Amino acid sequence: MDKFGHWKVKINQYMFNDYSEVNWKLYDPNGNHAGEHNVHGNDMKEMKDYIKSVNRPLEHMMPFGVDMTVSNPHDVNKCVVNFSIKKDMPGCKRFNGGVCRPYMTTETFTESEFFMVSVCDLECGWLNLKSLLEPSDLWCQDLNDADWEQMANGWKRVFECGWKGF
């Protein structure tokens, strides 16, 4: 298995009144299960979890972890999910000198906020370096195809996102 291949995470998200829940399942580049976890709570402004591979030989582990932050987890119109890779892009610095790490954020249900992705290409470019990732190496399923659905007195959605190891 090539740990520098494309990893995929399947997200199940639920909200009922002030209750929110999100669970993720991670799949390696061969499509094998590589980890999962669940976070839930009431009256939360955001939910955080750490996506990582578990119970695998070192050579089959994902080469980094990913911080997942769900903002506005009980507001179907404002909810977004941010995935922030916990690995610095080698040699690339932000304009203020800080390290650069790739990230992506889903769009909102109403698309008042659009899908965003950064692979540090600007931060690398101003130093005449090239990012190890292309923007297409970080992706999420189009949420128009995996939209929120009403479920009893709440909402649910299931969608997939992914990234390339580096």
Residue 40 inside a domain? The answer is yes
Whether 130 is in a domain gets the answer no
Q: Looking at the domain assignment, is residue 122 inside a domain? A: no
- Mean pLDDT along residues 74-92: 96
DSSP 108: P
Q: Would you say residue 11 has pLDDT above 90?
A: yes
Range of the structural domain that residue 34 is part of:
6-86+136-164
pTM across the whole model? 0.94
d(CA 143, CA 104): 14
With respect to residue 15, please indicate whether it lies within any of the assigned structural domains: yes
**Phi, psi at residue 22, to the nearest 5°?**
-140, 135
Q: Over 90: is that where the pLDDT of 12 sits?
A: yes
Q: Does a structural domain hold residue 78?
A: yes
Return all residues near 128 (Cβ < 8 A) that are at least 6 apart: none
| Total domains, the chain | 1
